[in-house]
Amino acid sequence: MSVQNEAVKNLKDAFYAQDDTKCPELTKKALEVGIDPLDLLENYLLEWAKEITGRSLYDTEHAEEGKPKLRSENAVMLSDLVMIAEVLTACVEVLKPELAKNVSQSSKASGKVIIGTVEGDVHDIGKSLVASMLASAGFMVKDVGYDVPAKVFVNEAKTYGVDILALSCSLSMAKLTTRDVVNNLKKVGIRDNLKIIIGGQAHYESDCEVLGVDAFGASISAALTKSNELMRILREKRAKN
């Protein structure tokens, strides 16, 4: 095994063990043996995080017809997600100075995102994880926090020149704010300038049509994949214009 492969393997083991002490040290070692920081971020750390956060909750492989599906042994719980965010953030902190040295390498700077939990809801963890993931993937992310009124989203979208508005909601009653955000964007005439993605336990795929938004991220990794897709659509649209 090459020195580089060994460094990646050690980092991967620590990452999957959610060891937030070892991971920054091993990230540093990986850089020392010559692994490109962008490569390390995009092809290893983010891929591992996507794999873990995208796991199915239920064991569908061994499910029997007419019997309850049981929770998969590899299912990822909220406590895992919080730790993955801690670990990923710690690794990215090590990588940041190296990435900054060669900005041109970060050619995938993907777009501007405003992300927040809508007014009436204070669930913060999932939203923050998506924000970390998007930022790690090259998006310029502004996290406006939780319990955010519709007018704040609209003002931020106007002043920040945003590409994607990411709205999280985990309390069903607070979905009324999601509706208000969309309506207010229409009122001020900027709805068509941007894309809206929704997530959180109270949002569903069917809400895209009901609420008039562009995408639903069922998981953290799905939020990243769909945000990339939305950016692609937005770029094509802008190129045509």
Cβ at position 14, least distance to other proteins in Å: 15
Task: Please report how many Cα atoms fall inside a 13 Å half-sphere around the Cα of residue 218, on the Cβ side.
Answer: 7
- 109 is a contact residue toward other proteins (CB under 8 A): no
Tokens read off for 166 = 């990411």
Binding other proteins (rule: CB under 8 A), the pick from 33, 122, 188, 233 is 122
Which of 217, 8, 207, 14 is closest to 129 using CA atoms? 217
Four-residue CA torsion sign, 137, 139, 143, 147: negative
Binding other proteins (rule: CB under 8 A), the pick from 22, 28, 29, 69 is 69
Cα torsion through 53, 12, 40, 82, rounded to 10: 40
- 77 is a contact residue toward other proteins (CB under 8 A): yes
Q: What is the DSSP letter of 56?
A: -
Please work out the total of residues on this chain that contact other proteins, with binding judged by CB under 8 A.
36
Instruction: Candidates 94-102, 106-114, 154-162, 173-181: pick the segment binding other proteins (CB under 8 A).
Output: 173-181
Cβ at position 151, least distance to other proteins in Å: 15
Give the list of residues 6+ apart from residue 62 with CB closer than 8 angstroms, or none.
70
Instruction: Candidates 34-42, 130-138, 171-179, 186-194: pick the segment binding other proteins (CB under 8 A).
Output: 171-179
The answer to whether 11 and 23 have CB atoms below 8 angstroms apart is yes
Cβ at position 185, least distance to other proteins in Å: 18
Output 106 or 183, the one with its CB closest to other proteins: 183
Which of 169, 69, 170, 77 is closest to 180 using CA atoms? 169
Instruction: Candidates 44-52, 60-68, 106-114, 150-158: pick the segment binding other proteins (CB under 8 A).
Output: 60-68
Four-residue CA torsion sign, 115, 119, 123, 124: positive
Contact letters for other proteins, residues 181-210 (x by CB under 8 A): ---------------------x-x-xx--x
Q: Which residues bind other proteins (CB under 8 A)?
A: 18, 57-58, 66-71, 77-80, 82-83, 86, 119-125, 147, 171-176, 179, 202, 204, 206-207, 210
